[in-house]
Copies of this chain bind each other. A is one copy, B any other.
Amino acid sequence: MDQSIDEFSLISGYFKELTSQQDVVVGIGDDAAVIDTKKQHQIAVATDTLVASVHFPEDATAEQIATRALCVNLSDMAAMGAVPKWFTLALSIPKEMVSAKWLEGFSQGLAKVAEQYNVSLIGGDTTAGPLTISITLLGELPTGQRLCRDGAKQGDIIYVSGTLGDGAAALYELTHTDSTQNNRLLQRFYCPQPQIELGLGLRAYASACIDISDGLVADLGHLCKASSVAASINSQALPIQADIRQQYPEQSMQWALTGGDDYQLCFTVAKRHQAEFERWASLNKIAVTAIGNMTALDHNQDYLKIDDQKPSITVGGYTHFR
């Protein structure tokens, strides 16, 4: 092995402390990790990749990249109603970027999120190459209690968690202004809050669930298609933060509908569970907003109506950072 490889072997030292959790039988340092799973549980598995200049700007700090990478994956677990437990990290990094400072920042970012959500790093691979972070997250689910996209029924109420459009507003500020003036938005971009607690609660209430990564219209569309029903939403009900409404009056509605990167949950609840669910959410201080209803799919297979109109949306949520 040449110098560069020794250097890359050393990198694992920065991640060792992230591996402490129960149920990890073999952690980092063997050919594979070995984990113990609970009886009568199933395993949820999700993979997400972040590429420099595509999913985050070149000048993002190591810590920002790490927190975003792990949060985005955690959001998939929330959408399944799973308890996130373990993750592997595949990190490609250009040789010239490898420094103690960068690796410490990256490791600290991962550690912060891993601790908050009680997940352990159980393995991975570090290679020389263009900056790419790929995380595979494993979670546990009691058998049969998963939240899927395909269970929504006509008449169900459509909810979203938190506020919409923050991801797109942050993206706009990151790509159109010299520095992001709004700290809240920067946080929402680099540290989206995966709705794990909501996902666990929804096992008892929701008929279908998806996380909003590509924008409400796109992701609710996926849910409708999987469930073979249509959705009718009321644009005035969409939860949009006051700061965005004020600063971007022309764009905020579009961002909330199609912006992406929000990592909130969009889910459906049968009418008979509505009162009980809203009580549960209020008791647990989880912000949820009813934004419409599921309806029968018409013969045109129009999956979505916004304010009783077929949407004519200029879709433009996706921006590369170059």
Main secondary structure of the interface of A (DSSP, over half): strand
The copy count of this chain in the complex is 2
Give Cα A25–Cα B82 distance, bound, in whole angstroms. Answer: 14
- The interface stretch among A134-142, A235-243, A270-278, A279-287 is A134-142
Determine the chain B residues whose CB is within 8 A of the CB of A76 once the complex forms. Answer: 31-32
- With a cutoff of 8 Å between Cβ atoms, the chain B residues found around residue A149 in the complex are 29-31
Q: How many residues of A contact B (CB 8 A)?
A: 72
> Which residues on B sit within 8 Å (CB–CB) of A226?
29-30
Asked if A31 and B92 sit within 8 Å, CB to CB, the answer is no
Q: For residues 24 through 83 of chain A, which have their beta carbon under 8 Å from a beta carbon of chain B?
A: 25-26, 29-37, 39, 42-52, 54-55, 75-77, 79-80, 82
A 205-230 to B, binary, CB cutoff 8 A, 1 in contact else 0:
00001110011001000000010000
Query: What are the residues of chain B within 8 A of A82 when measuring CB–CB?
Result: 32
Q: Does A5 contact B (CB under 8 A)?
A: yes
Q: Is A88 an interface residue (CB 8 A)?
A: yes
Known pairs A32-B77, A37-B42 / 12 extra A-B pairs, C-beta < 8 Å: A5-B214, A29-B149, A29-B226, A31-B76, A31-B149, A31-B210, A32-B44, A32-B137, A35-B45, A48-B125, A88-B136, A90-B134
* 7 closest cross-chain pairs (CB), A and B: A51-B129, A32-B46, A130-B130, A31-B79, A90-B134, A136-B136, A47-B88
